[in-house]
């Protein structure tokens, strides 16, 4: 993103005014070249310290197939949290060991379809293993390990490791999980963890890598099994607030790879592939929302009413997430504390409170929300009859519609009213 001398905001080489005029608002927009830069920067850093590194893209963060295809072109596999995300990977031409299925609290139908798909099965808990074996024995099996500690820079609600997380095998159960899998006839093994969410401290990544490597090293030694890969998860953070520092990706890679190699030597492991599944780091800061101011209300507070509500961007209302906001052509103006809301009949839709924004913000202005590429559109929903927005992709001076906005017909397309209720 750039702000030019006349105050116009551009995403790559396209003005937000052109994008809003072409596709309407609210509108999600993704910068293709930023996604590619993020991926290449991270992969280069990790392969510098551990050449046998492979990235999988956690497609839950942004499941637009145009975005996912960018990352597929760069060489990423897919981390799928559901059977439908396995099918999305298939749409990308990916399957087998290019896809990892990391669902949690799976139904029997999830398990059956996951096995039939032939992807890497990554089990969230050993209690699932007997249910998996009812349908077949995976050739390659991984367990998602809760390393016993987690960290998150954006709130406890999204910390997905440690005692408060619902995910992963308890550290005391890891050995037993792999022992049961070996006795059941599984021949090939991997391991997985999530270190936390949106972390920007390189030291932490080294620490948490040590936790899982100790668990896996002891398991390998005790059971006499080799691990083909160890997936260190995602968690590579981005700075949502401008005063936050950027993650030093080279330092993080050096810390993780250094501990990885140290523990391989300590436990005499056959060197496994180092895998990771970032998503926010790839797409988070490449995505924006363009919205329009429709009403300015002066009451107990000055409230800027836009078409960006919590139905369009759920994160602030859901767990207090921060997103920086710009007002097109007004960024050089004097500022005052303003409030910003959407159009929903919920007070939590007042999702920006007392934020210093351009004082002259008024009807017709375009607002641009930053860092919306991850967990933005994918968490949007229909409420009050408001529909999901369109998505666009920019590449230099070119732009493309990559998902149309919903219409009223989409709102009612799946509804069936029994005939007797129509009388």
Which residues carry out catalysis? 345
Give 143: exposed, middle or buried? Use CB within 10 Å, 0-12, 13-18, 19+: buried
Which positions ≥6 away from 416 have C-beta within 8 Å?
none
Cβ pair 304, 377 in contact under 8 A? no
Could you tell me the sign of the dihedral formed by the alpha carbons of 57, 28, 243, 164, in that order?
A: negative
Q: From CA 223, how far away is CA 203, in angstroms rounded? A: 31
Three-state SS annotation for 349-399: HCCEEEEEEECCCCCCCEEEECCCCCCCHHHCCCECCECCCEEEEEECCEE
* Sheet containing 14-15: order of strands: 2-3, 9-11, 14-15
DSSP state of 126: G
Residue 144 near residue 122, CB atoms below 8 Å: yes
The total of other beta-carbon atoms located within 10 Å of residue 166's CB is 10
Q: What angle do CA 122, 283, 275 make, to 5 degrees?
A: 35
- Alpha carbon distance 275, 169 (integer Å): 19
Taking a C-beta distance cutoff of 8 angstroms, is the pair 378, 347 a contact?
A: no
Check residue 245 and report its DSSP letter: P
């Amino acid at each position: 993103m750039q702000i030019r001398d006349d105050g116009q905001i551009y995403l790559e080489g396209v003005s937000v005014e052109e994008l809003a005029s072409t596709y309407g608002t609210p509108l999600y927009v993704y910068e293709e070249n930023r996604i590619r830069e993020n991926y290449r920067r991270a992969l280069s850093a990790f392969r510098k310290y551990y050449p046998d590194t492979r990235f999988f893209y956690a497609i839950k963060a942004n499941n637009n197939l145009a975005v996912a295809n960018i990352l597929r072109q760069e060489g990423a596999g897919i981390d799928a949290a559901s059977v439908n995300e396995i099918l999305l990977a298939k749409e990308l031409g990916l399957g087998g060991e290019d896809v990892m299925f990391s669902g949690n609290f799976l139904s029997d139908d999830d398990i059956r379809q996951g096995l039939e798909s032939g992807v890497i099965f990554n089990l969230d808990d050993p209690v699932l293993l007997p249910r998996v074996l009812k349908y077949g024995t995976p050739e390659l099996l991984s367990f998602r390990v809760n390393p016993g500690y987690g960290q998150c820079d954006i709130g406890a609600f999204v910390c997905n490791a440690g005692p408060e997380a619902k995910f992963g095998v308890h550290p005391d159960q890891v050995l037993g999980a792999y022992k049961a899998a070996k006795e059941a006839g599984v021949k090939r093994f991997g391991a997985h963890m999530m270190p936390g969410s949106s972390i920007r401290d390189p030291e932490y990544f080294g620490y948490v890598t040590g936790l899982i490597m100790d668990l896996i090293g002891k398991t390998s030694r005790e059971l006499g099994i080799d691990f083909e890969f160890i997936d260190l998860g995602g968690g590579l953070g981005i700075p949502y607030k401008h005063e936050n520092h950027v993650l030093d990706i080279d330092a993080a890679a050096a810390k993780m790879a250094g501990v990885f190699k140290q523990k391989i030597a300590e436990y005499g492991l056959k060197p496994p592939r180092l895998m990771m599944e970032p998503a926010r780091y790839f797409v988070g800061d490449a995505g924006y929302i363009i919205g329009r101011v429709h009403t300015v209300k002066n009451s107990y507070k000055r409230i800027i009413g836009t078409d960006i509500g919590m139905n369009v961007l759920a994160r602030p209302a859901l767990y207090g997430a921060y997103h920086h906001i710009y007002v097109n052509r007004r960024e050089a103006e004097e500022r005052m504390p303003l409030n910003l809301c959407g159009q929903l009949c919920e007070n939590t839709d007042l999702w920006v409170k007392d934020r210093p924004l351009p004082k002259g913000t008024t009807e017709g202005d375009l607002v641009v929300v930053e860092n919306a590429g991850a967990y933005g559109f994918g968490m949007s929903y229909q409420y009050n009859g408001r529909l999901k927005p369109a998505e666009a992709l920019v590449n230099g001076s070119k732009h493309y519609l990559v998902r149309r906005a919903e219409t009223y017909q989409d709102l009612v397309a799946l509804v069936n009213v029994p005939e007797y209720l129509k009388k």
